[in-house]
Structure 1
Amino acid sequence: MNDIWTVSQTQIDLWLAVFWWPFCRIFGFLLADPFYSSKAISVKVRVCVAIFISLIIAPVLPAMPQVPVVSPAGILIVINQLLIGIAIGYIVRIIFSAMEMAGHLAGLQMGLGFASFYDPLHATSIPIVAQFLSLMTILVFLALNGHLMVLHTLLDSFTSLPVRVEPISGLGFKLLVDYGALIFRAGVLLALPVIGSLLVTNLAVGIMTRAAPQLNVFAVGFPLMMGIGLLAMYLSMPYMPAHIEMMLSEGAKFAARMMGAFAGK
């Protein structure tokens, strides 16, 4: 009768592995994703969210490795899962950083590079134009159900790259580093309407100053540059959500490709 209630160490390790290793990947993602890693969301809430998601998806995940949780191989699996989750989170962070880069470039050209304030969420001073685009990106991100899209991408990664004992390949990190070029490429393209309009304005102010040397370029040029820049940003705002949606969809495709690279395919 007592044998019925006997639980071996192997069974305990299997039960823990079903929830522990998926939890590590999900928690790594929540640590790196710019939306879920916001300081407005405490660590306790993130841990609870990771546990909740792990409990929901555990029954449909592929079989876990027959490895004790507390062992060198088990610790290696934990490190692999954390790195995979952090890598997926950084894909979304790169998209947000691209929008902030566009704000940095636009604000610098408008002469608002000095207009910055302390952001408690980032714990640093951020130019006001970059902060504005960052907040707009979060609103568009939520409107497009981006928070659910990235979770879907994370859960798909368990199918394309199941939990395994073998270490992940470094090719995935190389792809992630190359993908980081999106920050500068997309940032320049999104700020291009402002940069182009201000370039024409600069040429016009230069011609005016040459034609009328007595004209105070600082009294006329600075308000004109700021006004033209704000107008160009206002006119380009309706086109930005489409670019954000495109970057999110491309980020989901890149995540699948990165999982293949991690698997060594």
Structure 2
Amino acid sequence: MESLPLLEPTLHQLFIFVTVLTRVSGMLATAPMFGSSYAPMKVKAFLAVTISMMITGLFWGEKFPTPDHWMSYLVVLGGELFIGISFGLGVRILFAGVQITGQMLGQIGGLSVADVFNPAFDDNVPMLSVLFDMVVVAMFFCLGGHRFMIGALLSTFADVPPGVGLASPEVVDVLVMTLSKSFMLGVQAAAPGTVALMIGILVMGLISRTLPQLNLIAVGFSLNSMLLMLFVFLTVGAMGWLFQDQLEPTVTSIREMVVNRHVMFPK
């Protein structure tokens, strides 16, 4: 049944608001901290609705093609959701590199049994992974990463208005490349500590062969703990610099792929 003429402007504005809300919600649902269980659901919903209302006001008088079938609505909302998820998931993948660093140092340093529950991942993770994750999250907010990520998403509305285009599938290639960078980031940050701990284990093995009467358990654990603490402090600083160098290029690449290679819906 066709809608009444008086309701057409209201329905069109509602369509704009829903599409904007879908794009913003996709990012907030997958972005670090925003998409984890740390943030209350009411706060995330309020933030998504508030941002969407401000953006909707910019397109209040614009006329965009409105889908005439419910399947077309689903395609439009799916495209908006994909754009938002791309931004949040790209940054979250970088945070996964922090987990790799803590996992490597924890396993070699003898802290594999000291796993703690991390509600952000809903699983038990090494204690060092939680430490590095908290440090990177703090640095993420101190450097204004949350503003940069939200600003990059909001800037896409200027080139890809709500309900008009669909992000190119090549965004998936950017996310895959980000995953490889995240793995390299984790390995690079953990490499010095991993090598030092392995050398320490090798040295203690040689000493035990030379001096069998030495209490290897007491000396080995002490040396291993000192090396681990030393390189944990060094790795925290290195992780901050590596994460800072990768954050901006990742978000910028996703934005350029969304803006420059999006697919327009037929009018």
In which range does the TM-score fall when normalised by the shorter chain? 0.7 to 0.9
Q: Which of 20-29 and 254-263 deviates more?
A: 254-263
Structure 1's unaligned 5+ residue stretches are: 1-5
Does the 8 Å CA contact 1:171/1:264 hold for their aligned counterparts? no
Q: Residue 118 of structure 1: SS of its match in structure 2?
A: strand
Q: Residue 66 of structure 2: SS of its match in structure 1?
A: coil
Please tell me the residue identity of whatever aligns with 2:13.
W
Structure 2's unaligned 5+ residue stretches are: none
Q: 1:44 to 1:7 in 2, by over 3 A?
A: farther
Q: 1:164 to 1:20 in 2, by over 3 A?
A: closer
Please tell me the residue identity of whatever aligns with 1:213.
P
Q: Give the drift of 1:180.
A: 1.1
Q: Which of 227-236 and 214-223 deviates more?
A: 214-223
Q: Give the drift of 1:247.
A: 1.9
2:17 counterpart of 1:30: no
Equivalent in the alignment of 2:143: 144
Cα distance in structure 1, aligned partners of 2:63 and 2:97: 37
Cα distance in structure 2, aligned partners of 1:235 and 1:176: 29
- 30, 50, 53: which one aligns with 1:52: 50
TM-score under structure 2 length normalisation: 0.87
Equivalent in the alignment of 1:251: 250
Does the 8 Å CA contact 1:194/1:232 hold for their aligned counterparts? yes
Q: 1:156 to 1:75 in 2, by over 3 A?
A: same
Equivalent in the alignment of 2:221: 222
Q: Residue 66 of structure 1: SS of its match in structure 2?
A: coil
Q: Give the drift of 1:167.
A: 4.4
Equivalent in the alignment of 1:73: 72
Q: 1:264 to 1:207 in 2, by over 3 A?
A: farther
Q: Give 1:1-265 correspondences, 5 Å limit.
A: 8-60=6-58, 63=62, 65-68=64-67, 71-165=70-164, 167-260=166-259, 263=262
Please tell me the residue identity of whatever aligns with 1:138.
V
Q: Deviations over 1:28-48 (max 9, x none)?
A: 111101211121322222122
Q: Give the drift of 1:94.
A: 0.9
**How much is the aligned-residue C-alpha RMSD, in angstroms?**
2.4
Q: Give the drift of 1:92.
A: 1.1
Q: Give the drift of 1:122.
A: 3.2
> What is the number of equivalent residue pairs in this alignment?
260
Q: 1:41 to 1:235 in 2, by over 3 A?
A: closer
Q: 1:214 to 1:143 in 2, by over 3 A?
A: same
Q: Give the drift of 1:118.
A: 2.0
Q: 1:177 to 1:111 in 2, by over 3 A?
A: same
Does the 8 Å CA contact 2:167/2:262 hold for their aligned counterparts? yes
Cα distance in structure 2, aligned partners of 1:163 and 1:50: 15
Q: Give the drift of 1:20.
A: 1.2
Q: Which of 222-231 and 210-219 deviates more?
A: 210-219
Cα distance in structure 2, aligned partners of 1:17 and 1:232: 53
Q: Share of identical aligned residues, percent?
A: 25
Q: Residue 124 of structure 2: SS of its match in structure 1?
A: strand
Q: Residue 125 of structure 2: SS of its match in structure 1?
A: strand
Q: Give the drift of 1:164.
A: 4.2
Cα distance in structure 2, aligned partners of 1:238 and 1:228: 16
Q: Give the drift of 1:155.
A: 0.8
TM-score under structure 1 length normalisation: 0.88
Cα distance in structure 1, aligned partners of 2:90 and 2:173: 13
Q: Give the drift of 1:120.
A: 3.5
Please tell me the residue identity of whatever aligns with 1:196.
V
